[in-house]
Structure formats: structure tokens, C-alpha cells
Structure 1
């Protein structure tokens, strides 16, 4: 779609440009890879890049849904990808790669133009100097591939957006564009064009693209909002044409075309009630998703600077940096999804906070500070992103119209079970996406809940490879007492249909014999909570330390070959979940003589920015946990498991469970699980290329 709109007869311009890495005999495909953001990546390069581009865009979409990045940051960081039905499919790299380069390019061109214009009027001397200055200008531009991409990309996307907007009634403007492209191809830019006003032209084009993006899409042609937007667009187009007149001032015939353009009848600029053509053209652009994406890309290329090259929020920068860096770390190759080992995630929960209520968020504490005010002060950019997504002006409007969204936004930034559940359920999304790439030949992924056969296969694969059990020990008691935690747990069950909750039910009085205890598994069934399994126990399972006992009693409900133990104050990320098949492949590389029984990996303490104490604890975690465990794992003497670590479930079940629970002896269940594994011939590893979030009591 994008390629069809962008491909015009001027593409020889881009093929004429050589970057420093081009050789004289370089193929056109080599040049295309150098100017990918201008001409698009296609052919073999497209097939090699498309899977990563789709995964990158998917991760950015996850960050936007979590309000970690804004709409503009999403657009600037994303790949632009042709739809599946495009004849010659292409993708365009993210606009942030050219951040700040357009300013550099324009400064170079304007400087060289000023030098040329100051030369004496002697035509022979000026002609000799022209080629030297032109070559100097091109050499300076091509020292950095991204300078070339920024200037050509800005021109291509902006000119095509303008052509699409003005339509066939203004075909004569093509002469102006073709002349500028011819001057560039013939290395006569300085001779044929007046380049002093390039910065002014760039500002006018950016204002036009912004006006087009702000045209209301849901209103009719005759609405006041649409008419105001139309008049604004017309004014912006006239400003662009005036700038083009200055650039083409040396060509009288082209200046005359630009002067006559707004005066034509039945044109885009015709005033009064007869503005049907302008209405039609603007509606055509606004209703074309591909055209709007081209306008958006033009606006990004014209306005993106170094400040826009990364997210404003600390969380967004940290996550994207670690993900990008981890791709260059040593990691085993991932198997196809149908061949990876199945995984169960288990989270022990007792009586902690599941979600913040609106009352909790708006009540004042002893210092007269509201929790919501505190959170939006700590996460100012993420709060702005939430308001942008909800299209709300301020906190009062957001609370009034979207209380549930505000509640979840706050809950996802505290040490709550809701945050942990969301993070672990990203594993489900990752499996679904990775299997989609395997079976659908780079087609755009369908929406969740699509009834087609391909999506049914995805659901079946997810059910085979992943399940998540929250071991909420006293959920039954909380429900009987109508506690808020029980209601919140049921809300999470409905929000995540594949989530399961296991709890201990008892003691239950029986008609005959002593009271009995049961391990019970429940799930959401529409709006109801349905019991899946009820397993009778020989007695009270909680006889040792509470947390490991709670963790162990629910192992019978796990279906995976591997078992991951996650605390209730942790977090997960989609970009890290995409690497889970690589992590699980570490289990298959070891020999049976010394089996790998616990797969360890790193944690990030997300509470580090709350206070000085929290920052100190975050540094301590890095020093004494991440770095220390890494060194111990190198020598195969890491006798410990961290709470995101993954157990060989069959080995653990044969050794008394994932954690020993003897009262008074095994107070630190993580240490003794590592001892238990090592003493029975197992081994504990530590991987660096993947991480989860972890909260600390601060």
C-alpha cells in the first residue's frame, strides 16, 4: 500500500545517490539497503528483516498499551510495513534512526549555497567553482549515510503526500518536482535552485503535515470542525507553494506555474461553497490509512530530533536498551514453538495487595498526600501517556470517565499481584506471536479472538505450551468473608481467561469422619468462577513454612515440563517473553550426567527510583545477586534459586518440591532449594540475556 503511493517516476534520484559504503560496481539492491528508509527494503533484505520488524513493532505496541511510550514515540520508533497483499512488499526503517540528521543536512546545503552565491559574477570562474562546491557538499552529506536518508526521505514522503492531497487537478506541479529531482541527479542543485530558504520550507512542510494529521476523521464534510481543518490545510499548502517559489526563483516558467496554481477554478484552492474538490481530496486522504501513514512518516522525518530518538520515560529507555543489547549476547538458538518444552508459571499469594481501589488512590495519608498524586509525580511521562490514550484533559476527567483504566494504571506501577499477572501473561502473547510468524508467512497478525482456523491453531499451541497458576492459599476463606482481595482475584480471572487460581479449601466438616482439606483449582467461565479440579488431601498441607508449602501444594495443577516460580511483586515484559524459547533451549544443551535442574536468570529491581533507600537496594541487588550469582554459576557452584528461576519439574517433584518447608530450618526457601538440587546431582545456571522485574519493600 505505502509502496504503491510512494513509487513515482522520480526514483532515479535515489539510485543516483551513492553513500560512502557504495562501490562503483555496487548493485541496485546494495544501494537500496543503504537508503532503506527512502526507497524501502524489499526482496531478500525484506525477507531477512520482516520478522524482526514485526516483533519490534509488537514490542512497541505493548509499551504503548502500558503507557510507557506516547503515540508520537510509537510512530517514531516503529517500522512502516506494507500490507500482505502488496505486489512488491517493502518495509521502511524507523524514523528515529535519522534523528537530528535533517538539521545537519540542511545546514550543509545552505552553507554551500551561500558560498556559491557569493562568488564573482564571472561566469567562467563561477562554473569552475560550481562543480567543486557541489562535490564538497555531496562529500559532506555522504560522510554519514543517515544524512542522505534524512534529506531524501523527507523530500520523498512530503512530496508524495502533497501530490496525493492536490490530486489530478494540479498535475502541472509535477514539473516543479521533476525539475528539482533532475537538478539533484545532474549534480546541479546549486546552479538551478535557490536554497537560502530551505529551513523555512522545512517548517512550512512540517506545519502542513501536522495540519493533515489533526483533521477530524469522524465528522462529515459540512461540519464546522472539518471546514476549519480544511481552511487550515489550504493555508498551509499555500505557504509550502510560496516556499517552493523561493527555491525555484531562478526558473521563471516554474514560478509562474506555482503562482497560477491557487488561481485555477475547480481546484483545491477555489473559495466559497464550490469547494467540492478540496473536500473530496481531503476526505480521500483522511480515509486512506496508507496515505495517513505516509503523512505521519513525512512529519516524523521533518521534525524528529535527537531528543525524540528515545522514549522520555526512564522505564521505556531501560527496557528498549536492554532488549537491543541482549540481542548481541550469547544465547542458544530457539526451537520451533511446537518443539519447545512446555512451561508453567506459579505465583504464591497470601494476603497482599491485588489491585489498588479508587478509594485507596484518592484517600489522603497522614502527610495529606494521595497515592494517585504520588504515583503520577513519580511517573510524570507515563501519566501523560495515559491521558493521551484516554483523550482526557486532567486527573479529574480521567477518574470520572475512565476509573477502571486509572485503577489499572496505578496498580501496574505498584507492588501488586495485578502487575505480576500482566507481566507473566506476556508469555502467552509471545508464544502466540512467535507461532504466528512460523505458520503465516509474515502476514499481519489478526486481532485476539479472531475465529479463523489459523488463530484457533494459535490458541491450541498456547494451551499446550503455557499455563499460569496463582497459588492463593486462603482465597476460599477470603471469598467466604467477601473480602476485596477475592473480588480482585476474580476480576483478574475474567481479564485473563487462561489464568488459574489454586487454593486450599478446608478444614471442611464431613458427615462422617474428621474434617478434610482439598486443593482446588478454579478458572473464569464467562462472568462466573468455575471449579476445575478438587483434590482431597490427607491432611492440612500447610504444616511448614507458609510460602513454600503454598507453592508446593499447587504443583499438581501445573501441566508444564518446566516450572517457573515467580513472587507476587514481580513484573514481566513482552520483549523479554519473546526470548523465553531461547532460555528454555538451555535445558536441552546439557548432558544427562550433570542435568541442569534450575535455570537462573537476572532480575531488575523496578523500585529503584522511589527513594534513596530503594536506589541503594537496587545497587545492592546488582552487586550481591546478579553479579555474584553469575560468578558462582560459571564454576557450577550456584546453590540458590532466584524467584524468577525455572525448575525441571519432574526432578523437583522427585526431591520433595521446589522448596523445602521444614519449620525453623528452611526459613530461606530459595537457598535450600538450591542446596537440595545440588546435593542430588543437579546443577544451577545463570543466564544474562533475559530478565524480569522485581520489587523490594521500601
Structure 2
């Protein structure tokens, strides 16, 4: 077996399995324990042993599986012991051969390794008080796992020391010894949080978006300086004095950076006890450096003044600069201050460089990255591509540029109304307004946010007020500062908050453009679905059917936008048949969920069995509804203009398809029914003449179509008889054929040679009323001339007749089909998905398998009849409520179970109807039942796709429904249906974890029986639960221990015995017991 194992496969599996372990060892600077022997023949066996050990650890780890680095720590030591035992190494501690630290006892690993760590997890969870305790007072899985991100984790030892700080529980921070003058006797060794402690505070709004706030404050300061000095033109910044004043923004930036450093310390203070020394040092250095930069930039900026202070002159002399006004020193320090930001911008623009630096283990690189962000085991090197960052940057640059321009120029708020609305807080403001109104009247109109407010602000500040009629709010304020503050406060608030508005506008525009290129929302309404339905088969075959020869596909916006799907031609019945199987499965699922009625289902379905005689694509009847009656009216009033009628019909592609399909179907049905030789000659001649004139384009010129409605009514009558298929209607069918022949030969065709072909059988030119009574001389009357009734009746024949009847008789529009909103949403979603860009579909056999796990505890599974009928305090029952919420679905349900009313449904004592009612209500009111049904659609979809992959042309044309209902499926393991089910079972598994299922089953609770019903309804459903078994203790026989087993159960297969007439019993079967 090992000799046949490919070395490349073994290496690939081992690489994937130990990827995280090797990454962990490299991060902590430790060599891995995966030592391979020098003898090549033993390498493969050693790899298998290493992988087997890891899988055994993972299998017995229980909840420790959520702590991946903890498993790495355990495996690191156990793999080293394995290597030492295999190599025969001697332990330097004992001088003996290396032995396992936890060996020699039964379940030693579970009891001595997993249990102590699990006890810590359990007690930490208990300390959390169900989440009500503060985040800093207890550790969850992530916090415990982060302990193993540091080299300090090796102080835990192997075997693990019971007194290690990792096992210390969260007790009070200090334990006081009353006998020792209430002084702290010992400090708690609880590790606590390692990297992150959640502190809920309003200040996180500013801390999390500090760069945005700093940028807005700096931009506001710069705009106010430019607007206040000179004319307010942005080009004024090129002026020396204005530029010098704008440079003060760097002092503001340093001050805000200092405030951020202080805020980081305050919000991380509760975690300082568990912080490592290098993290504390980083916080301290951040505060010190930020404060130093505030002082340095302030002092050097003062050197740019005309008369700097003496201290600034002293600093200036240190750098050999004696000029009284030298901005170069300030600019030099600004460049130094911005150098870390320049490096960060460089790494932002080139993410592959940052990705390399974050993963590097060089000390200088680690120091540089440590200053920007503490080093963590996870999240390193996770950056978007350069193109994504470029698009992200362009988006925000345009958004912020537009916001700043709008804030500076365009945001028009009439200053007059602003004053009356905002400033009339007291009559003192009114007095002020009246006194300087004439001064600022020319400046109050068309003012915007920043620039136009500068002039009125200056005017307000220059107005002197000596007397006030009301109370003076700011008696000692100078230059009317209170009015200025009242004027600017709402403007500043709007300046900071309108970014959300601009983000909504830009995200809408960019999202719309992106969606257009990605073809999102291609079909939004049923009207659009009808117009695009003819492209759906081509899109389905291009996207969801694997190609035999995979060609490289173009990618990107341009390729997606230009990609189109052609209509499936009529000669490609295989492609149309594939789409028909999928479409019918979707519609059938709608009917099973009672989203549509029987009539809507008939209008939405396409034929399961492809009719090769028609040589055209058969669209769903809801697209062709009312087309035939309209075409009849158009033909009746065509006035002999064949070309015009053809043009009008072909303008509507669905009308053209309906006319051609109805003619081809009637032709096929009549030829199937007519069996007499003479009758066949007449029918063949009539159809050949019609086909000849259609090809020549002179059908209307040669035939009189005024009698077409009469022929149409006779056809409809014939189809009704075929639907009933009763032997007593044979005479009526014969009369119908004779009447139709009479209409065709005498009222429509009106050709002499057709009379010569028919009249000898009728007795020459004798009037019809004078014909002899012998039926053997009449067409279609002789025995065997017509095959009626049809025997045997196949499903394909019945489907063909029903479809033709719908096409002929449906006169009202089907624009509202389906009428249910949920059905409309699902059809639109499915149709839209076909036009979106998606990867090439592989065959089901080649796809990756996947599993779905649904957690479940003690919620109700199915409504009982008592629960459905019991009214609440308002007198409303659950069933009544559901009937009012889903009235159309309730009517569809009654139609499906063949009941006319609720009373008839409840009056029937059938257990099957009772169960259907419970399921109908539970699918709309119980989470688990609805979830299970939705998840099992995955398996149905895989079965269908496997059928489309493996079916031959004959099976594909016969249809998915044919192989599903075949009698050979239960007998032949090699049948196509069995293979499809086997492939679906290999690729998809669904498990519901019902923790209390074992207890409910032993207690006989109805919940366990309901879960069994679900497993019986969906045989592929599996239920996992923990089974509790009492066993006598091996040490003390009188003591009873509780042993827990992990169980996986499925429903027992139904009995196939034909003599089994007992009621259905729901039983489960344990097929996995751990």
C-alpha cells in the first residue's frame, strides 16, 4: 500500500496540513519538530507518522480545535518526543531514552492535556456571567489562543506545569492578609488579555477615524487662513505671508497627534497590567515623541516670524542660522516630521513591499513595523492588490476634493435667513443685528460655508455695541465673539458631518457604474424577464454547463460588459433540453412550496420530454399566452396581404413561436390519430399543400382564412376529447374530423383537385345531405381509420396535449404569472445570476465537496395541530395568522391537497393531510424546518447537475423526470439515477447538531419525533448529538460514571416489502458512534 502511494501526493497533503504549524514556529523563532531521517526509504513512513499524530491530536482535542496555535504548541512537543523515540535519543534531563510525557495510561492525552486546558476555558466562560462581565475580566477562546503567540508560552513547559500563569483563574486582583495589616500578600498571576481589551467609549469614534478627523481639522484651518487673508482666492496661498501662515497646520497636526497618543493610553489603561513591556514602551514613546514634535515645530515656526523670541533665536543659532527670519529650519523639521508618513504612503501604494516587510523576521524591519503597529501572529501581509488600492484611493480623493470645494464655494445658505434662524437666541443678538445691519447688508446674500462668511464675520467683529436692551450674555467678550461663535458653529458642524452625504452620493454613482459593467440587475421585472427569456438557455449552457474544451476567458470590466449570449437555435435541442430540466425543477419547487397554483405551474413549465418532430424550441406557455387568439384575429383581417401578416407575426418572436409550435403539434397529433390509408392520403396532401404555400409566401392569397375561427373551435373541441380520452366519445371525434375536413376543403382551400380527391368517397358531387348512410363510404368513419381512444397514454403524450390546449385556449394575458412576490423574486434572482460574470463550472465529479452544519438546541421543530388551533390572548391562532399573512399560498396548499376549504381539510382523518398541514405551517413559522428544506435544495441541485453531466443524448431528451420515476432505479445500482444520487452524496453533506436529541428521545418528547420526521422526509439529513450513558466505574463498581458519546444518526430506510401495510414508523439509525 505504501509503495503505491505517490510521494508528490503525500508531500502536498503534508504541506497543507503543517502550513500553520511551520508558520507558527517561524514566527516564534523556533525550529519545527518535523525531522526526517536521512534514509530515503524511511522518509515516507515518517511523514505518515507525523500526519497521523497531528490528526490524532486534532481528533481528541475537543473544543481546543478553536485554538489552533494551542494545538501547534501541543504538537510541537509531542512530535519532538515521537522523533526522539524513533531515533533512540537520550533525554539530557533523565539520562534515559526519551519517553512520552503523557503515556502509559488509558486516555492519558484526554485527561492530562485536553482536560486542564478545557477546564480553564470552562471557568473563564463561567466568569463571564453569560457575557455580562466586563471584557477585561475574562478570556474567551481568542484570548487564550493569543497566549501561544508569544515565546513566553514555552514557560508553560512539557509536561505542562500546573502552577503556570496560563492556568491561573480570574480572581480578585489583590488578596489581602488581614493578619498583615491589610497589605497585599500576593499578586494574582492571571494572564488576562494579551493583545486587545474592549473598552466601550464614545471617544472610539475619534480614535478609530483619527486620520479623517485630523485631515478635516487641518483642511479647515488652511481654508480659513486662505479665506481670511487677502481676497480669498485659493491661489493666494502662493503669497509668501499666506503660505507662511498656512504652514502652521503642521503644528496643529502635531498637537492632534499628541492628543491621539494620550487617548490611546487612556483607552488602553485597563489592559496595562497584561501588556508586555515592549507594548508599554511603545505607548510611552508615542506620547513623548508627539509632545516633542509639538514643542519643536512650535519653536521652529516662531523662527519664521519677523521678531522671533530669544529662545527661538538660541535654537536657530545651534544650527548656524543667524538670520532673523529663516523658514528653512522649520521646513527641515517638517520634512523630518513627515518622513514616517511618506514611508507609510509608499508602503500603501506598493502593498507587496508592505506584505514582505510584515512577514520579515529581520530585527531592523521588525523594529520599524513595531513603531507603526504591534506585531501580531495573524493579519500579517493581508493587503489588497495595487489595482484595488488605486481604485480605492481615486474614489476617496475625488470624494474629499468635491467635499472641500463644495464647502469652500458652492454650499449656498442665505445669510439673512441664517441670522434670523440661528442668531436670534436673545434680544441682545437682535440689538446687535440692527446696529450692524447696514454695515454688512452688501455681504449677506449668496454666502456659502467658509469663504463668503469671512466678510460678514469681519464686519460683525468691527461693530461696537455700547447699550443692550436685554441681558448681555458675553459682558467681557471682545469683538462680539459670542455672535461669531453662534454664526460659525452650525457651519463647522455641517463641514464635519456632510462627508456622509457625499459618501452616499459617490457610492451610489460608483456602485451603479460598477453594477452596469458587472451586469448586476440585468432583469428587474417580469416584463424584462419576458424580453430576455430567449437568452436564458444560452446563458445557462455557457455558465453552468462544463465545457469539453476549456478556452481562456477574458476578464475585466470590458470583457464582462461586452460578453453576450446568443439564442439557442432550434437545431440544438440538447442545449434547450438541459435548460428545460433546470427550469422545470425550479418551477416544481415553487409548487411544492405552494408559491404558485396548478394553473401557474402549467403556464410556467416547459415540456420535460423533448419532441424531436417539432424541430423548434418550446418556450413556457406564460410567454406564449394569448398569442394564438391574437394571431387568428390578425389572419382573419389580413385581406390577402400575406407579406404584411408574416411581418406582423414575426415582429413578436413569441407569437411566431406559438404559431409554429401549434401548427407543428396539430400536424403531429392528427397524423398520429389518422390510421386509414385513404385518410392518410388526404391528410398528407392537405398538409403538403399548406407547407408549399407557406414556403412560397402566398398562403393568404391562395387560401381563404375567414373560416379559420371555425376550424380553431373544432381543434379546441378535439383537444378536449383527447384530454378526456373516453371510448364513448369516438363517434364525436369522427364527426369532428369530418367537419374539420369539410371546413378545410370547402371553405379554406377551395381547389378543384382537392374536391376530386375527397368527393369520390362522398359519392361524387352529390349534396352532403343526400349521401348514403353506409359509414364505410365516409372518411374517418370506418373501423381503424382513427386511433381513438389512445392506448397506452404516456406522460409525454398527456403533457403535449395539455400544453397545446393551453396555447389554444389561454386568451387572457399572463403578465402577472407568477403572482406570488417570493416566486417573482426567486425567478429574477436566478435569471440575473446567469448574466453575471462567474467562473467556469466544473463537472460535479471534479468539484470540491462541502458540508453544512446547522446548530440547534431546543426550539420547536414542527407545529402541532393543537398549537396551530390554540388562540392567543387576542383570540388569534397561529394557523389563522398564517392564512392572513400568506393567503395565496394557503389557497395553493388547499389546491395541492385536493381540499376546497379548511373544514374539509380538518374533517379528513388522513394522517398524511395532517402532516402536510403541519409542514405547511412550520415552513413559514419554524426556523429549523425552513432551514433544512432550503439546505436540501443544494443536494437536489447537485443531483440535477450530475444528471446533466452524465446523461447521454437519449436520457437527456427523455428528461430528468423520466429517470427519476424509472422503476429500474431501485433494482439497478448502475442506473443513471443511482449514480446521480451517489455523486450528490459524495459532494454534499448536511448535519444538524441537536444537542438535546438524545435526552428528548429517551424522554419521549414530541421534539425528537419531529426531528425523525424531518430525517424521513429528507433521507440525506444527518443529526449529530451527544449521548449520555451511565456505566459502572472500573475503580469502584458501586459508583456510576456518566460517559458521553458523539453520535451521528440518519433515518431508517423505508421498507420495500409490498405486503407491508402497517402505519409508517419513524425510526433512526446510528451509523457513527464515537
TM-score by length of 2: 0.39
In the TM superposition, residue 434 of structure 1 has moved relative to its aligned partner by: 1.5
Q: How does 1:51-130 map to 2 (within 5 A)?
A: 51-80=578-607, 82=609, 92-113=618-639, 116=640
* Matching residue of 2:985: 463
Structure 1 residue corresponding to 2:685, chosen from 171, 175, 195: 175
Q: CA deviation at 1:483?
A: 1.7
1:142 to partner: Cα distance:
2.5
**Counterpart residue number, 1:439:** 950
Show CA shifts across 1:153-189 (max 9, x none).
2222123323323432632244333333333333333
Partners of 1:157 and 1:505 in 2: how far apart? Answer: 62
Aligned residue for 2:858? 351
1:293 aligns with 2:799: yes
Matches within 5 A, 1:207-246: 207-215=717-725, 226-227=726-727, 229-230=729-730, 233=733, 237=737, 240-241=740-741, 243-244=743-744
Distance 1:439 1:357 in 2: 43
Which residue of the other structure, out of 476, 480, 491, is the alignment partner of 2:998? 476
Among residues 625, 636, 642, which one is paired with 1:134 in the alignment? 642
Question: Match for residue 835 of structure 2?
Answer: 328
Question: In the aligned structure 1, how far is the partner of 2:875 from the partner of 2:597?
Answer: 31
Q: 1:473 to 1:147 in 2, by over 3 A?
A: same
Partner of 1:219: none
Q: Distance in 2 between matches of 1:533 and 1:289?
A: 42
Cα deviation, 1:331-377, whole Å, max 9, x if unaligned, reads 22222223322211111222223122333344555555554455445
**More deviation in 377-386 or 316-325?**
377-386
TM-score for both structures, normalised by structure 1: 0.58
| Structure 1 residues 123-177: Cα deviation after superposition (integer angstroms, max 9, x where no partner) | xxxxxxxxxx332222222323333222222222123323323432632244333
Query: What's the secondary structure of 2:835's corresponding residue?
Result: coil
- SS of the aligned residue for 1:176 comes to helix
Shift of 1:484: 1.3
Q: CA deviation at 1:489?
A: 0.5
In structure 2, what is the equivalent of residue 452 of structure 1? 973
Map of 1:185-584 to 2, 5 A cutoff?
185-215=695-725, 226-227=726-727, 229-230=729-730, 233=733, 237=737, 240-241=740-741, 243-244=743-744, 247-248=747-748, 250-251=750-751, 254=754, 257=758, 260=762, 265=775, 277=784, 281-284=787-790, 287-304=793-810, 307-308=813-814, 310-366=817-873, 371-399=878-906, 400=908, 401=910, 402-442=913-953, 443=955, 444-445=959-960, 446-447=963-964, 450=970, 451-453=972-974, 454-506=976-1028, 511=1033, 512=1039, 515-526=1042-1053, 527-535=1066-1074
How far apart, CA to CA, are the structure 2 residues paired with 1:421 and 1:146? 39
1:46 partnered with 2:573: yes
Q: Does the 8 A contact of 2:642 with 2:701 survive in 1?
A: no
Could you tell me whether the CA contact under 8 Å between 1:134 and 1:188 is conserved in 2?
Answer: yes
CA contact (8 A) 1:522 1:531 kept: yes
Query: In structure 2, how many angstroms separate the alpha carbons of the residues matched to 1:370 and 1:207?
Result: 48
Looking at structure 2, the residues matched to 471 and 249 of structure 1 have their Cα atoms a distance apart, in angstroms, of: 73
Distance 1:207 1:87 in 2: 23
In the TM superposition, residue 470 of structure 1 has moved relative to its aligned partner by 0.9
Which SS does the other structure have where 1:112 is aligned?
coil
Report the CA distance shift for 1:264/1:166 in structure 2 as closer, same or farther (over 3 A): farther
Asked if structure 1 preserves the Cα contact closer than 8 Å seen for 2:870 and 2:877, the reply is yes
The CA deviation at 1:327 is 0.6
Q: Distance in 1 between matches of 2:794 and 2:1018?
A: 34
Quick one: distance in 2 between partners of 1:292 and 1:264? 34
Contact 1:197–1:246 (CA under 8 A) maintained in structure 2: no
Name the structure 1 match of 2:656: 148
Residues 362 and 370 in structure 1, CA contact (< 8 A), matched pair in contact too: yes
Query: Aligned equivalents of 1:465 and 1:83: distance in 2?
Result: 29
When structure 1 is superposed on structure 2, of 249-258 and 469-478 the one drifting more is 249-258
Looking at both structures, which has the greater relative contact order when contacts are Cα pairs under 8 Å and sequence separation is at least 6? 1
Q: Is the 8 A contact 1:99 1:306 kept in 2?
A: yes
Secondary structure of residue in 1 paired with 2:1024: strand
- Match of residue 665 from structure 2: 157
Distance 1:250 1:269, change over 3 A: closer
Structure with the largest fraction of helix: 2
* Separation in 2, partners of 1:270, 1:392: 42
1:424 offset after TM fit, Å? 0.9
Question: Partners of 1:495 and 1:254 in 2: how far apart?
Answer: 62
Higher gyration radius (CA) = 2
Distance in 1 of aligned mates of 2:754 and 2:917: 56
Q: CA deviation at 1:487?
A: 0.8
User: Using the alignment, how far apart are the partners of 1:434 and 1:238 within structure 2?
Assistant: 48
The whole-number CA distance in structure 2 between the counterparts of 1:73 and 1:237 is 32
- Counterpart Cα distance in 2 of 1:312 and 1:504: 46
| CA apart distance, 1:383 | 4.0
SS at match of 1:92: coil
Secondary structure of the structure 2 residue equivalent to 1:282: coil
Contact 1:248 1:254 in 2 (8 A): no
Structure 1 residue 523, shift from structure 2 partner: 2.1
Q: Does the Cα contact within 8 Å between 1:249 and 1:255 map onto a contact in 2?
A: no
Deviations 1:375-398 (A, max 9, x none): 445444444444444444444444
Q: Structure 1 residues 404 and 98, CA, compared in 2 at 3 Å: closer, same or farther?
A: same
Deviation, 1:247, is 4.3
Work out whether residues 623 and 814 of structure 2, in 8 Å CA contact, stay in contact via their aligned partners in 1.
no
Compared CA separation, residues 107 and 34, structure 1 to 2 (3 A): farther
Taking the aligned partners of 2:1032 and 2:790, their CA distance within structure 1 comes to 73
Q: Residue 492 of structure 2 aligns with which residue?
A: none
Query: What 5-or-longer segments of structure 2 have no aligned partner?
Result: 1-564, 763-767, 1034-1038, 1054-1065
Residues 531, 375 of structure 1: alpha-carbon distance in 2 compared, 3 angstrom cutoff = same
RMSD of aligned alpha carbons: 3.9
Give how far 1:323 is off. 0.8
Over 3 Å counting, the alpha-carbon distance change for 1:165 and 1:408 in structure 2 is: farther
Is 1:95–1:304's contact at 8 Å kept on the other side of the alignment?
no
- Number of matched pairs: 465
